[in-house]
Every structure is written in structure tokens, then in C-alpha cells.
């Protein structure tokens, strides 16, 4: 499961995400997402679940290309009973975190059903390096189609090696890997019996302004005035950026690493999106950053942010916006913000595996530019931010990979044509989504058929049903987990 807000990568990443990068999937390395486990926990889990390596073809669709590489995977046999199913957790746009091999709802299901649990890291992320570098020429081997073929080959060979050919396999994934879980069942129905595709954006779209519309509604659900204050603050900042005389104050307000320089529209858009990301990420993972509490002892939620934006003692809305940014920096020990788009461009075009964007940023943005789009633009009047329109996102595709707007649009159309977008024609795929999660706008929130059920969970955020149950969970979240289990139980008996 990937746990990040996988929109267009921002090199400096938003404050809240910098340390909260999820490392199973949705989203780690340097993504806009949440690190659910501390480095110490990660190290301990690796000691318990030793990484293993599987030989894959570089190009599954060219029989004349015999090049191979090693893909990382993990195994948990603790719950397996002879004759039981096989659960396969799909990795996404970040390093696979072995902590997920002993934490998560899928393991609760595995214990009840006697399942063997496997997790396969996505090609080009984490330690799974198919090529010598991340040049654009080599990134042509990075795609959802190649990733699905990796899964198919892994499933086939592992089944033969472990005597599991006749066992029923179930795929799990959240966010982008949720889409992969659905598509794995869709494209390889003879290999996977069922899938749980959590928070899966199955519809690709170049422009995704609906993301910020959900952010507005989610903030308003806490306090109707909250998104209005955010919008006033954002609009004020946009006006200030038009006057170079304000740059010294802005630099000081947001503790930038160097004096603010706005030479092009890309510079201002980059800065504005970075600050907006604080709210975007908190909304996406609202009430679900508990995995980090043991490290920093905090839980920043929509309620917290709206409390700050409504606190008149802090000053006008702009001053409160600054207070939010400062809270994030103080909480996550960030000394200063790098607001330079030119630095972002430098980092994102570094093709080394040890480059500053090699944790997943360069790879994931390439996938958005060549398959999905998903750009969370301000091209809607019904959202709280200003200043990072679609043209800003699209230009990054050209700057980073020489992908034109026309090529991007064609690639997104091909993705929907290949997978079917919302019109999934398959069976035994569960499609959970949370109403607070902005990504539900690109997911399936109503049943397609009895064998393609949607599980729409009101009041919950991105991938919430995948995390271990806790006493504070909403009743509807507990019911959703139970419902998913009963469906799996029924389908495994078929």
C-alpha cells in the first residue's frame, strides 16, 4: 500500500510530509505522504522479516530482451495453515516497509484465514533497481503494466516453488497499489482469485481539481469558516508575491532557506503549492498519523489546523497561515524551507540512484507524466487555494522528462482505455474508500455489481481500513473492516 498524497512531486516536499513519508507504498522516500513507522521500527522489522530477492525480466513485453534484475520481497509465514490462501501485498511508489509484515488489517484477516503473506516491492522503488540509473531512457521500463507483469511472474514462480499453485491468491493494495490490486485481478484473473483495492484512483485524469474541492469540504466539515480563512490567507499571499518589496518579510515569515526569488510563474506556483500541501496532506490522512505518535508524540489533524485558522489572537488569516507552516516546521524539526523551483529542477533531473529525488520522487512523477496525470490544480472556484494551475504541473513533465502536454494527454487516455477507468469488468474486487480522502473522487464509491462492491466509509481518510483497529475508530470503519473480511471469506469458499 502506498500511503502518500501522490500528486506531482514537490522537491522540497510539504512540511507535514517530509518526515511522514510512508515506506510501503502510498508514499515514502521524498513523497507527499506519511511515514507510518520510525527508522528504528523499520530496522527492527527488517531483522524479523529478512528481505529476499526475486529474478525478474527487465521488459516483459519483449521476448528478445533477456536482461534481468533482482526485485525485493518479504514473507510472513506465521499465520499460514496448509491449504490456506496466499495474500500478496503490492508495493507502490516508495520503498517496501517490512513493518507492514506484522502490522495491518490484512494480517488480521490472514490469521483468521490461515494465509501466507507476501509483499513485493514495486520496480524502480526502494531497493528494486532494474537499471543502472534513473535516466529518462531507462524509466521507459517503469509503468503499471510492467509492474503487473512483475506481479504475475512473481505469483507464478513462487506458487510453483512453494507448492501453492492450487491455492487461492488475494491481492491487497492501497492508493496507487490499490489500483494495481484491482487491475491485477482484471488483467490476470487466472492468477489472482480476489483483490482488496483500497483508496484506488482507477480513473486517470490530467487535471484533478476535484482533489482540492474535497479538501474544502473536509475542512468545512470541521468548521464552515475554516476553508474561508485558508482562502483569504492564500489570496493574500498571492497578492504579496506580486510586490518584490514584500519578499524579505515573506522569507522571514516562512523561514525560507534563502531569500525568496520570484522570476517566473513556476517559482510562485511551486512556493504556493508547497504551503498548501500542509493542509492537503493533513486532510488526506486525517486522524490517521497515529503511527508516528510514538516518535514525535503528536497528532496534527483537521481540527488542529482549523483551530489555528480560527484563532483571531494570532492576527489576520495570513498570520494564521504562517502559524500553520511554523507548527509543521517546529513539529518535524525542519530548519528552513527551500522554496526554489530551480533547485527542484536540479534535483528532479538528477538521474543517479543516490540523487536527492531517487527515493521515489523522480520515478513517481515520471509515472504521472506518462500514465496517470492526477495533477491537483487550483483550476476550480470551489477550493481554498490559488496559484498552482494545471499549466504549472504540466510544464514540470516537460522540464523533467521532455514530455509534452499532448503526449501527457494521450498517455492518460491510453491508461483509461487499457484498464477501463470506472467501468471495471471483472469480479471479486472490493473497492473501499473514505469520504474525507480527496482521492475518493477518482475511485469507485458505489457498487458496480454484487461481485464488485464499493465500501464507502464516511468520515475516514486515505487507506484507513488498512490500518490496525483501535478503540478510537469510528463505528463505520470497524464495520467496513468486518464487511471486507466476510466478503473475502465468502469468495475464498467459492
Note whether residue 31 is domain-resident.
no
Same-domain check for residues 179 and 273: no
For position 157, what pLDDT does the model report? 98
Whether 136 and 190 map to the same domain: the answer is yes
Among candidate residues 383, 413, 443, the one where a domain is terminated: 413
User: Does one domain contain both 363 and 255?
Assistant: yes
211 and 199 both lie in a single domain: no
Whether 437 is catalytic is yes
Residues 186 and 271 in one domain: no
Same domain for 449 and 302: no
Please pick, among 175, 195, 268, 427, the residue that the annotation labels catalytic. Answer: 175
Give the tens place of pLDDT for each residue, 71-107. 999 999 999 999 999 999 999 999 998 888 988 999 9
Q: What is the mean pLDDT of residues 222-243?
A: 97
Same domain? For 157 and 220 the reply is no
Q: Which of 4-8, 105-109, 118-122, 433-437 has the lowest mean pLDDT?
A: 4-8
> Residue 226: which CATH number?
1.20.120.980
Which grid coordinates belong to 71?
526485485
Task: Decide if 107 contacts 77 (C-beta within 8 A).
Answer: no
Q: What is the pLDDT of residue 160?
A: 97
**Burial label, 108 (beta-carbon count in 10 A; 0-12, 13-18, 19+):** middle
Counting every residue written for the chain, the total comes to 494
Q: Is residue 379 part of a domain?
A: yes
- Give the domain-ending residue among 413, 445, 471: 413
Does residue 33 lie within any of the structural domains?
Answer: no
Q: Is the pLDDT of residue 8 over 70?
A: no
Residue 319 and residue 244 share a domain: yes
Instruction: Give the pLDDT score at 288.
Output: 63
- Whether 26 maps to a domain, the answer reads no
Residue 9 domain flag: no
Helices (H), 241-368: 247-253, 265-284, 293-296, 302-309, 317-331, 341-348, 361-367
Q: pLDDT, tens digit, for every residue of 284-316?
A: 888 764 443 333 335 789 999 999 999 999 999
The range of the structural domain enclosing residue 391 comes to 206-413
Question: End of a domain among 397, 413, 429?
Answer: 413
Q: Are residues 271 and 319 in the same domain?
A: yes
DSSP secondary structure string for all residues of 432-477: EEESS-GGGGGS--S-SBTTB-EEEETT--TTGGGSPP-TTS-HHH
Catalytic residue among 179, 195, 462, 473: 462
The CATH number of residue 466's host domain is 3.40.50.1820
Q: Identify whether 15 is part of a domain.
A: no
Kindly tell me if the per-residue pLDDT of 16 is higher than 60: no
Q: How confident is the model at residue 18 (pLDDT cuts 50, 70, 90)?
A: very low
Check whether residue 189 and residue 248 sit in a common domain. no
State how many domains the chain has. 2
**Cα gap 345→397, rounded to integer Å:** 11
The residue from 150, 267, 437, 473 that is catalytic is 437
Least confident of 30-39, 316-325, 358-367: 30-39
Q: Per-residue pLDDT averaged across 429-440, rounded? A: 96
Let me know if residue 28 belongs to a domain.
no
Clarify whether 175 is annotated catalytic. Answer: yes
Amino acid at each position: 500500500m502506498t500511503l502518500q498524497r501522490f500528486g506531482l512531486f514537490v522537491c522540497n516536499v510539504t512540511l507535514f510530509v517530509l518526515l511522514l513519508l510512508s515506506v510501503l507504498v502510498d508514499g515514502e522516500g521524498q513523497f507527499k505522504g506519511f511515514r507510518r513507522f520510525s527508522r528504528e521500527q523499520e530496522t527492527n522489522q527488517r531483522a524479523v522479516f529478512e528481505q529476499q530477492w526475486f529474478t525478474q525480466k527487465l521488459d516483459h513485453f519483449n521476448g528478445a530482451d533477456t536482461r534481468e534484475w533482482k526485485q525485493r520481497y518479504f514473507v510472513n509465514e506465521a499465520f499460514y495453515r496448509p491449504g490456506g490462501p496466499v495474500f500478496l501485498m503490492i508495493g507502490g511508489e516508495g520503498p517496501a516497509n517490512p513493518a507492514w509484515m506484522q502490522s495491518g488489517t490484512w494480517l488480521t484477516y490472514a490469521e483468521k484465514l490461515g494465509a501466507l503473506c507476501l509483499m513485493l516491492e514495486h520496480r524502480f522503488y526502494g531497493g528494486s533497481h532494474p537499471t543502472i540509473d534513473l535516466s529518462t531512457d531507462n524509466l521507459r521500463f517503469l509503468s503499471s503494466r510492467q509492474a503487473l507483469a512483475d506481479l504475475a511472474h512473481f505469483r507464478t514462480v513462487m506458487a510453483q516453488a512453494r507448492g501453492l499453485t492450487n491455492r487461492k491468491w488475494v491481492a491487497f493494495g492501497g492508493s496507487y497499489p490499490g489500483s494495481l490490486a484491482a487491475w491485477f485481478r482484471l488483467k490476470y484473473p487466472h492468477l489472482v482469485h480476489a483483490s482488496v483495492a483500497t483508496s484506488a484512483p482507477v480513473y486517470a485524469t490530467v487535471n484533478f481539481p476535484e482533489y482540492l474541492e474535497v479538501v474544502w469540504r473536509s475542512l468545512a466539515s470541521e468548521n464552515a469558516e475554516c476553508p474561508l480563512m485558508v482562502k483569504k490567507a492564500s489570496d493574500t499571499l498571492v497578492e504579496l508575491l506580486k510586490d518584490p518589496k514584500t519578499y524579505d518579510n515573506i522569507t522571514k515569515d516562512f523561514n525560507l532557506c534563502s531569500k525568496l526569488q520570484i522570476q517566473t510563474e513556476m517559482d510562485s506556483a511551486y512556493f504556493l503549492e508547497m504551503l498548501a500541501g500542509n493542509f492537503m496532506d493533513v486532510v488526506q490522512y486525517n486522524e490517521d498519523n497515529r503511527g508516528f505518535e510514538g516518535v514525535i508524540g503528536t497528532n496534527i489533524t483537521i481540527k488542529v489546523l482549523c483551530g489555528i485558522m480560527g484563532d483571531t489572537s494570532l492576527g489576520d488569516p495570513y498570520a494564521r497561515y504562517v502559524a500553520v507552516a511554523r507548527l509543521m516546521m517546529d513539529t518535524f524539526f525542519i530548519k528552513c524551507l527551500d522554496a526554489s523551483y530551480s533547485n527542484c529542477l536540479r534535483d528532479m533531473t538528477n538521474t543517479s540512484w543516490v540523487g536527492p529525488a531517487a527515493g521515489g520522487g523522480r520515478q513517481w512523477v515520471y509515472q504521472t507524466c506518462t500514465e496517470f496525470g492526477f495533477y491537483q490544480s487550483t483550476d476550480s472556484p470551489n477550493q481554498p487555494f490559488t496559484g498552482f494551475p494545471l499549466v504549472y504541473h504540466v510544464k514540470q513533465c516537460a522540464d523533467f522528462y521532455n514530455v509534452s502536454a499532448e503526449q501527457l494527454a494521450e498517455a492518460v487516455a491510453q491508461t483509461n482505455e487499457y484498464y477501463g477507468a470506472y467501468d471495471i469488468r471483472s469480479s471479486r474486487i472490493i473497492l473501499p474508500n473514505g469520504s474525507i480522502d480527496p482521492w475518493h473522487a477518482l475511485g469507485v464509491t458505489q457498487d458496480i455489481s454484487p461481485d464488485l462492491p464499493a465500501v464507502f466509509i464516511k468520515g475516514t481518510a486515505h487507506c484507513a481500513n488498512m490500518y490496525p483497529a483501535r478503540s478510537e475508530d469510528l463505528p463505520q470503519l470497524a464495520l467496513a473492516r468486518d464487511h471486507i473480511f466476510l466478503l473475502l471469506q465468502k469468495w475464498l469458499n467459492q
